Chain A
């Protein structure tokens, strides 16, 4: 084993100041599979929140919690499968594993946040990875949203088993995603770029009987 310790990290802004075209992982899917309109008979509604800032934090819970409270004013969820959000609901931290958390902030904030977290963490043993380019967030609402999820995942999405403020990584439509419930009526699906088209088409197909519509 080498006793070499990395004392710096190569951190760069993935959003350059010059305007360059950027597309969500679903851009091709919208073009190819279309977007059904939301109508009065739509009992499930899908909405993509593209280009948000996604960061993965890894390290010890106590050290990270201090830094995150200082920088975001938001505690690190310590309980397994839990989700904490700020008052606006715009910024959230989700428990992914005992030493791993997913932070989602409005697009454009993630680089500044990463730099401030690195300053706050100093010489601690940790890792921060910007995964915004690798995944996208879908919101699912409507009276039949839960029915749609029940068709897609073996995870129990009954309110008793899946209260507001819970989030899990689980099997979904033979693929996997992060499923979370930030509010009483809204579900969030964090999907990987490589699975985004498949899952989008799955959701359209599974939601067809509920008149699923796609907003945005």
Chain B
């Protein structure tokens, strides 16, 4: 059993009910006509593939059928938080890196290299959203 918290249904639901829909927070260029081919190509086809914290779009396909965002660690597959469309994540690679810099988290040296966050810091924010 793997449960995901749907921010619209306000409860944990079985993973079977959800579909991932790729990277979140992709903004369509305001004026497509004024885009260079490279900018337009980036918007259409190029996606981040980080090792570590990734913000993703998911849909509660069998359920309320609403799209929402999830912050997921691509190393551990752990979903750190889910939040509604239009909202900003409270957990980002930067926020985790800042925690480490402030020394609030013990980081073991020589561990896995992730984008902005070590597994230790990820573990420390576990259970932010039950």
Partners in one complex: yes
Interface residue ranges, A against B (CB under 8 Å):
80-81, 96-98, 100, 154-155, 168-171, 176
A170 touches B62 (CB 8 A): yes
The answer to whether the Cβ of B89 comes within 8 Å of any Cβ in the partner chain is no
Which chain B residues in 42-82 approach chain A with CB under 8 Å? 62-66
B64 touches A97 (CB 8 A): yes
Interface majority SS on B: helix, strand, loop or mixed?
A: loop
Interface residue ranges, B against A (CB under 8 Å):
1, 8-11, 13-14, 16-17, 62-66
A98 touches B16 (CB 8 A): no
A170 to B10, CA, bound (A): 14
A81 touches B9 (CB 8 A): yes
Nearest chain B residue, comparing its CB with the CB of A175: B62
The residues of B that contact A154 with a CB separation of less than 8 Å are: 1, 14, 16
A171 to B64, CA, bound (A): 12
Nearest chain A residue, comparing its CB with the CB of B6: A80
Nearest chain B residue, comparing its CB with the CB of A174: B16
B64 touches A96 (CB 8 A): yes
Looking at the complex, which one of A80, A96, A100, A169 makes contact with B10 (CB distance below 8 Å)?
Answer: A80
B64 touches A98 (CB 8 A): yes
Nearest chain A residue, comparing its CB with the CB of B10: A80
A97 touches B14 (CB 8 A): no
A196 to B89, CA, bound (A): 41
